Chain A
Amino acid sequence: MVPAFSPTTSRMRFPEVAQVSLTERFQQLKTQGKKILLPYITGGISPDWIEVLRSMAAYGADGIEVGIPFSDPMMDGPVIQEASSLALGRSVTPYSLISEIARAEVDIPLVAMTYYNLVFRGGHKRIANLLAGSSVSGVIIPDLPYDEAEDWITEADRAGVDNVLMAAPTTSNERMEKIAKRSRGFIYGIGLLGVTGERSELAASALQVATALKSITDLPVLVGIGVSTPEQAREICQIADGVIVGSAVVRRVLDGAGPEGVGEFIAQLRSAIDGLS
């Protein structure tokens, strides 16, 4: 099926922007034995969100996951749902965000996180090119599982965008191997059965998923969903190569922490996982 194209935005170009390769940077960190910190922010959540993003980079993020908000985010809990509707209420579109991102000028990899309909509707080729052209070097699409992802991965590969696949606590080892073979940049271990959101304790499943993935792949293994505190980040990084922290960051943005406040939280996460190997 050929997805529809939107004529108004098909000519966006960002000639000046340099993309930092997700695969190369994360592999490098892994080789150096440095734990990888990948915090998340919902694109367009506040007028100063690019400032927040820069601050996250300055305080020690190794990459940043940028949520492109979707009207029906079924993998997200209340915090990221609220952030998404705030952003959509500010009339952001995938294209306005991509052009904002293109001007962010951070020298760490940026990974877009979005739902498949935005990619499908925009068209595989056009979205892949737009992302690559705006310095985004990876993508996570939680509702596009391995079995449905082939066409998109082909197009993303061609454009030089790493499509990151996810593995869950319910995924069999056999299936994890297949997923790992098709994942690019890193593999996303889903820490618990549930949607995004803060949890008071790290789930046992997070450690199990990390252990299972580490035994079958050389890709960096990052664990996210339900990792909310520096202590939890440290705990999971005993096994995983890195950690993804979403709702805990976004809640701080929603509470008005601002670039400095969020930056300080990133610094805490950073120091919690540094020195582990």
Chain B
Amino acid sequence: MTTFMGDPGPRGRFGDFGGRFVPESLVPACDELEIAFREAWLDPGFHQEFEGILHSYGGRPTPVTEASRLSEQLGVRVLLKREDLAHTGSHKINNVIGQALLARRMGKMRLVAETGAGQHGVATATAAALFGMDCVVYMGEVDVARQELNVFRMRLLGAEVRPVHSGSRTLKDAVNEALRDWVATVEHSHYCIGSVMGPHPYPWMVREFQRIVGDEAREQCREVLNGSDPDYVVACVGGGSNAAGTFAGFVDTQAQLIGVEAAGGAAITSGVPGVVHGMLSYILQDEFGQITEAQSISAGLDYPGIGPEHAYLAASGRAQYGTANDEEVLKAFQLLSRTEGIIPALEPSHALAYLVREVGVSIPLGSTVLVTLSGRGDKDIPTVIGLLK
């Protein structure tokens, strides 16, 4: 039997995917990080500190909420894993607390991050404030404009936000710029990647820092469902960290795992294998290998790649991946707001939109479905105001 979501080994491979495709200057830093993470993750003291901070500062565990009115309307039983209630408003805080603790262990007191929607940037700026670290966040010019609120939050928290003017001026270009910074500052900076992507050990390490989402949710579902697991577990996928964290809790159950990408940034549905940002994975690209630009209403899913472990879960068939388009997403965004009194971020609205569309089609009526609500919608209000007027 294949075991999924374990240790990808020293070469960081998930099947054929993953690896460490970085300039030589960064190889020793990736090695150092891998060693530090392996040590820390075996150290009960590290776990205690990590989980302690997520509890007393981050607000964990986040609840699982029975979405009764939505369930009634859709004809399936919907449970929501409430990462919108975590400190800073999304699951991103879990990963960032882990990486900041690790950076401190390695004696690196400057954090570099990329951000799309700004949630990872806000989380990184938050951790930097908490630990007294310096923080620089790269953000595409387009995203700086559409996620103005988060830019202001990051600056309030003491981070420096550097707009990126190259390429598509979104998340992909912010990653390039963060990597360029790291190449120059690697001796005293830690690159705090925001998702399960990049060179080994990041995809694995970030999944492990996020597995708390899935581990909690499995126990909480069993309480609600009298010891059984949901039939479906659905999460949105940009780089794939909230989905990977969620799936890690259910990968050894019977639950069907479904990741939902933005239709305009669907690396699994429309991409082919390629290498960018240090990893071998599915990537949107042209016939020559030039990376193409993703296109989505949601800045957090506007990314032409996907974490390599998702590529493997897709290729092996253990998880399925679908898409949702901007129009469906806006409807789902409003639907959850009105039925449950929860305004979701546009990213997890993709997971909801997929569910709305697929109930009675690929998801039978009467099923039990866990959806990870990866973040809250406050940051998206300016975007949505423009579209719903």
Contacts and interface: CB of A to CB of B under 8 A. Distances in A.
A169 B25 contact: yes
Interface residues of A, number: 46
Interface string B23-66: 11111110000000000000000000000000000000000000
Contacts of B278: 143
A193 B276 contact: no
Interface residues of B, number: 41
B287 A8 contact: yes
Contacts, number: 128
Interface of A is mostly: loop
A267 interface: no
A145 B274 contact: no
A168 B25 contact: yes
B227 interface: no
Given A143-B278, A166-B24, A195-B183, A6 B273 contact: no
- Greatest chain A CB density within 10 A among B28, B280, B288 is at B288
A145 B23 contact: yes
A120 interface: yes
A172 B180 CA distance: 21
A120 B22 contact: no
B172 A72 contact: yes
A172 B22 contact: no
B167 interface: yes
Given A72-B172, A74-B176, A75-B183, A117 B27 contact: no
B274 A170 contact: no
B23 A120 contact: no
Given A121-B285, A170-B28, A77 B180 contact: yes
Interface string B264-281: 000000001111111010
B104 interface: no
Interface stretch (A87-95, A239-247, A255-263): A87-95
B187 A148 contact: no
Given A116-B275, A170-B29, A143 B23 contact: yes
Contact of A143 (B21, B184, B288): B21
Contacts of B277: 72, 74
Interface of B: 11, 16, 19-29, 166-167, 172-173, 176, 179-180, 183-187, 272-278, 280, 283, 285, 287-292
Given A72-B167, A75-B180, A122-B289, 15 more contacts: A70-B290, A74-B176, A74-B180, A74-B183, A94-B288, A117-B274, A117-B275, A117-B276, A121-B274, A145-B21, A147-B20, A166-B24, A170-B27, A170-B28, A171-B27
Interface of A: 1, 3-4, 6, 8, 70-75, 77, 81, 85, 88, 93-95, 116-122, 142-148, 165-172, 175, 179, 190, 193-195
